[in-house]
Amino acid sequence: MLATKKFLTAALIATSLVGGVSSATAADTKDAAIARAQAQATFQSQMSTYVTAHRAIVDAQRAANAKALADFQAALVNVTTDAQLQAAKDARKAAHAAAEATAKAAEAALVKPVKPAKPTPAPKASAAPKTTPAPKA
Protein backbone atom coordinates (compact mmCIF):
# COMPACT_ATOMS: atom_id res chain seq x y z
CA MET A 1 0.00 0.00 0.00
CA LEU A 2 2.84 2.38 0.88
CA ALA A 3 4.56 1.68 -2.46
CA THR A 4 1.34 2.46 -4.33
CA LYS A 5 1.02 5.83 -2.56
CA LYS A 6 4.63 6.68 -3.42
CA PHE A 7 4.07 5.70 -7.03
CA LEU A 8 0.89 7.77 -7.31
CA THR A 9 2.57 10.76 -5.68
CA ALA A 10 5.52 10.54 -8.06
CA ALA A 11 3.16 10.18 -11.02
CA LEU A 12 1.14 13.24 -9.96
CA ILE A 13 4.26 15.33 -9.50
CA ALA A 14 5.66 14.23 -12.86
CA THR A 15 2.35 14.99 -14.59
CA SER A 16 2.13 18.45 -13.06
CA LEU A 17 5.72 19.22 -14.03
CA VAL A 18 5.22 18.08 -17.61
CA GLY A 19 1.97 20.02 -17.88
CA GLY A 20 3.55 23.20 -16.52
CA VAL A 21 6.57 23.00 -18.78
CA SER A 22 4.61 22.20 -21.91
CA SER A 23 2.25 25.19 -21.60
CA ALA A 24 5.14 27.60 -21.03
CA THR A 25 7.08 26.05 -23.89
CA ALA A 26 4.05 26.23 -26.16
CA ALA A 27 3.76 29.99 -25.63
CA ASP A 28 7.47 30.49 -26.28
CA THR A 29 7.36 28.22 -29.29
CA LYS A 30 4.48 30.15 -30.88
CA ASP A 31 6.27 33.49 -30.48
CA ALA A 32 9.52 31.99 -31.66
CA ALA A 33 7.80 30.39 -34.64
CA ILE A 34 6.31 33.74 -35.66
CA ALA A 35 9.71 35.42 -35.36
CA ARG A 36 11.36 32.62 -37.37
CA ALA A 37 8.70 32.87 -40.08
CA GLN A 38 9.19 36.63 -40.33
CA ALA A 39 12.97 36.26 -40.45
CA GLN A 40 12.67 33.60 -43.15
CA ALA A 41 10.31 35.76 -45.23
CA THR A 42 12.70 38.71 -44.94
CA PHE A 43 15.64 36.50 -45.93
CA GLN A 44 13.79 35.15 -48.96
CA SER A 45 12.94 38.67 -50.10
CA GLN A 46 16.54 39.84 -49.66
CA MET A 47 17.84 36.75 -51.44
CA SER A 48 15.48 37.34 -54.37
CA THR A 49 16.74 40.91 -54.67
CA TYR A 50 20.36 39.70 -54.46
CA VAL A 51 19.85 37.07 -57.17
CA THR A 52 18.13 39.58 -59.46
CA ALA A 53 20.98 42.07 -59.05
CA HIS A 54 23.59 39.36 -59.62
CA ARG A 55 21.85 38.20 -62.80
CA ALA A 56 21.79 41.79 -64.07
CA ILE A 57 25.54 42.07 -63.50
CA VAL A 58 26.21 38.81 -65.34
CA ASP A 59 23.93 39.84 -68.21
CA ALA A 60 25.68 43.22 -68.51
CA GLN A 61 29.08 41.52 -68.62
CA ARG A 62 27.91 39.10 -71.29
CA ALA A 63 26.48 41.95 -73.35
CA ALA A 64 29.75 43.90 -73.07
CA ASN A 65 31.74 40.85 -74.14
CA ALA A 66 29.38 40.24 -77.07
CA LYS A 67 29.77 43.87 -78.16
CA ALA A 68 33.56 43.56 -77.93
CA LEU A 69 33.43 40.46 -80.11
CA ALA A 70 31.10 42.11 -82.63
CA ASP A 71 33.35 45.20 -82.79
CA PHE A 72 36.38 42.95 -83.28
CA GLN A 73 34.71 41.01 -86.09
CA ALA A 74 33.64 44.25 -87.77
CA ALA A 75 37.20 45.57 -87.50
CA LEU A 76 38.58 42.38 -89.07
CA VAL A 77 36.69 43.11 -92.27
CA ASN A 78 38.69 46.32 -92.79
CA VAL A 79 42.09 45.06 -91.56
CA THR A 80 44.83 45.25 -94.19
CA THR A 81 48.01 45.37 -92.08
CA ASP A 82 49.46 43.55 -89.12
CA ALA A 83 49.35 46.78 -87.11
CA GLN A 84 45.62 47.14 -87.72
CA LEU A 85 45.07 43.50 -86.73
CA GLN A 86 47.05 43.98 -83.54
CA ALA A 87 45.11 47.16 -82.75
CA ALA A 88 41.81 45.29 -83.19
CA LYS A 89 43.03 42.49 -80.92
CA ASP A 90 44.19 44.98 -78.30
CA ALA A 91 40.85 46.82 -78.45
CA ARG A 92 38.94 43.58 -77.95
CA LYS A 93 41.20 42.54 -75.06
CA ALA A 94 40.79 45.95 -73.39
CA ALA A 95 37.00 45.86 -73.79
CA HIS A 96 36.90 42.37 -72.29
CA ALA A 97 39.10 43.42 -69.35
CA ALA A 98 36.94 46.49 -68.73
CA ALA A 99 33.76 44.39 -68.73
CA GLU A 100 35.31 41.93 -66.29
CA ALA A 101 36.57 44.67 -63.97
CA THR A 102 33.19 46.38 -63.97
CA ALA A 103 31.40 43.11 -63.18
CA LYS A 104 33.82 42.27 -60.35
CA ALA A 105 33.40 45.72 -58.81
CA ALA A 106 29.61 45.44 -59.00
CA GLU A 107 29.66 41.96 -57.45
CA ALA A 108 31.92 43.19 -54.66
CA ALA A 109 29.39 45.92 -53.90
CA LEU A 110 26.59 43.36 -53.51
CA VAL A 111 25.95 42.22 -49.96
CA LYS A 112 24.77 38.64 -49.72
CA PRO A 113 21.96 38.22 -47.16
CA VAL A 114 22.66 36.16 -44.05
CA LYS A 115 20.47 33.12 -43.57
CA PRO A 116 18.53 33.18 -40.28
CA ALA A 117 19.80 30.86 -37.58
CA LYS A 118 18.07 27.58 -37.00
CA PRO A 119 16.05 27.39 -33.80
CA THR A 120 17.69 25.75 -30.85
CA PRO A 121 15.76 22.76 -29.58
CA ALA A 122 13.85 23.29 -26.37
CA PRO A 123 15.30 21.51 -23.36
CA LYS A 124 13.58 18.26 -22.61
CA ALA A 125 11.60 17.99 -19.41
CA SER A 126 13.37 15.83 -16.89
CA ALA A 127 11.79 12.46 -16.40
CA ALA A 128 10.23 11.59 -13.11
CA PRO A 129 12.55 9.61 -10.88
CA LYS A 130 12.03 5.91 -11.15
CA THR A 131 10.75 4.26 -8.04
CA THR A 132 11.65 0.75 -7.21
CA PRO A 133 8.84 -1.47 -6.03
CA ALA A 134 8.89 -2.38 -2.39
CA PRO A 135 10.26 -5.83 -1.67
CA LYS A 136 7.59 -8.44 -1.29
CA ALA A 137 7.38 -9.98 2.07
Question: What distance in Å separates the CA atoms of residue 124 and residue 22, rounded to the nearest whole number?
Answer: 10
At 37 the pLDDT is 92
Residues 59-95: b if buried by 16+ CB within 10 A, e if exposed:
eebeebbeebeeebeebeeeeeeeeeeeebeeebeeb
- Domain of residue 82 covers 33-109
Q: Given a cut of 90, is residue 31 above it in pLDDT? A: no
At 16 the pLDDT is 47
pLDDT grade for 24, boundaries at 50, 70 and 90: very low
Other Cβ atoms less than 10 A from the Cβ of 7: the count is 13
The mean of the pLDDT values for the chain is: 80
Position 83 in a domain:
yes
Position 55 in a domain:
yes
Position 133 in a domain:
no
CA distances from 23 to 19, 56, 90, 127 (A): 6, 50, 73, 17
What region, left, alpha or beta, does residue 121 occupy, with left being phi > 0 and alpha being psi -120 to 50 degrees?
A: beta
Position 76 in a domain:
yes
Based on the structure, what is the number of domains in the chain?
A: 1
pTM recorded for the entire structure: 0.61
Position 130 in a domain:
no
pLDDT grade for 33, boundaries at 50, 70 and 90: confident
Span 70-120, pLDDT tens digits? 999 999 999 999 999 999 999 999 999 999 999 999 999 998 888 888 777
Average pLDDT over residues 7-34: 56
Percent of the chain past pLDDT 70, that is, above it, reads 66
Position 127 in a domain:
no
Whether residue 111 contacts residue 3, with contact meaning beta carbons closer than 8 Å, is answered with no
Position 57 in a domain:
yes
Position 12 in a domain:
no
